[in-house]
Structure 1
Amino acid sequence: MKKILFNPFEKYSETQLLIFGVAAAILSTYLSYVFNARFDGALDMHLVKNITLKQAITDNVINIASLFSTFYIIGFLINKKTRPIDILNTVLVARSIYCIMPFTHFAADTLEEFAVKTAKINPLDPAPIAFTATEIITISIVALFGIITLIWTVTLLYNGFKTATNLKTIKHKVLFATAIILAEVLSILFITALN
């Protein structure tokens, strides 16, 4: 079970991984549209008032393309035998976790109220802002859920990239981290420019 959840790349064929990854990408795009969740960065998701189907599709395509391009270029630098299909599967499977993120929309109103109250905090004014127990519990649950999802996604990216490139050294690991940062920056720039 641990291998299925964190390193399916060693257990399943490239065709199985591709089919699963494409299906998950379509599902996450649809769910982001239904639940008003913008995937506005390679590893980001924010709840919004509304989102068009075009925005949902554009966001996911840009995120996948940004991750794929940076991971493939850096993967090729590490190992010239790195195959595009292995990098694509890594990206698609890792992003499959984002299918569950839009369901945090149940907390949208509470998150918005929390954000409004937080914006009113003035470090020069000692008067405390009162947060309700519901707000604190909801924020804590959503934050924990987001952290777990991010860790799970990065773990899948790492294991898939490691399998695809035969990653071994510290230098390779630094390049992996660089690929994630570059993908995040690229995706945000393109999404901002196109939406």
Structure 2
Amino acid sequence: MTKNWKTVFNPFERYAEKDLAIAGVISLLLSVLLFWWAGQTNDGVYHVSPKAGLSLTGAVSEAVVCTLLLCGLLSALGKTINPRTRIIDVLNATLIHRIPLTFGILILQLPFIKSVMDQILQAVKNNRLETLSGSALWISTAVGLLMMAFLVYAIVLLVNGFRTAVHARKAIHYLGFAAALIVAELIYRLLFYPQLLKL
């Protein structure tokens, strides 16, 4: 793998923690504004749904809670693997990995894509999927694949950031990582998100 491609998938080995932190905080702020503007809510750590009337306070709270929850669980895991793990390194990985997810939300707001998605939602709601055009189906399929690619890229960034921060090498470390993501999803959906809905 060339150096440039390696940097794309693992910027944590090349850039200083301060640069990563600045990029991560900027991306977090942009994602908050984008979610608020687009009316999209984080009803899961890795799941987004439309929410009319989402407040700026709600968008900020969701982004911060998702980030800190994931960072907290991965930091705790990191400390058990390597007591010298620094929370700032795990936090940087958690922040940076949100960048492709934010791009995904931005793409969904493109007018022609938004129009197709609205058509599909309306057809599902009316139980009239047969009324959808072939182009709508092709566009929705392409968008779905693109969103999956963004999610995979985000997870790759988080894995590489975690590995760099913790010096994870063994298979059990990655099993623990996967378990931490599942636990984060459950805790957020069952405990935090119901409270955040009130904001």
Do Structure 1 and Structure 2 share a fold, with TM-score over 0.5? yes
Q: Which residue of 1 aligns with 2:172?
A: 171
Question: After superposition, where does 1:61-72 map in structure 2 within 5 Å?
Answer: 61-72=64-75
Q: Which residue of 2 aligns with 1:105?
A: 109
Q: Tell me the matched-pair count.
A: 190
Cα displacement string for residues 70-115 of structure 1 (whole angstroms, at most 9, x for unaligned residues): 1111111111111101110110011122221222023334323313
CA contact (8 A) 2:36 2:54 kept: yes
How far 1:135 moved relative to its partner? 2.1
Identical aligned pairs, as a percentage? 27
For the residues of structure 2 that align with 1:63 and 1:95, how far apart are their CA atoms?
A: 10
Residue 109 of structure 2: SS of its match in structure 1? helix
How far 1:58 moved relative to its partner? 1.2
TM-score, normalization: structure 1?
Answer: 0.89
Question: After superposition, where does 1:2-21 map in structure 2 within 5 Å?
Answer: 2-21=5-24
Specify the code of the residue in structure 2 equivalent to 1:105.
Q
How far 1:152 moved relative to its partner? 0.4
TM-score, normalization: structure 2?
Answer: 0.87
Cα displacement string for residues 142-177 of structure 1 (whole angstroms, at most 9, x for unaligned residues): 201210111000000100000111111111110010
Q: Which residue of 2 aligns with 1:82?
A: 85
Specify the code of the residue in structure 1 equivalent to 2:150.
T
Structure 1, unaligned runs of 5 or more: 122-126
Residue 25 of structure 1: SS of its match in structure 2? helix
In angstroms, what is the RMSD of aligned CA positions? 1.9
Structure 2, unaligned runs of 5 or more: none
Question: Which of the numbers 23, 26, 31 marks the counterpart of 2:34?
Answer: 31
For the residues of structure 1 that align with 2:39 and 2:99, how far apart are their CA atoms?
A: 18
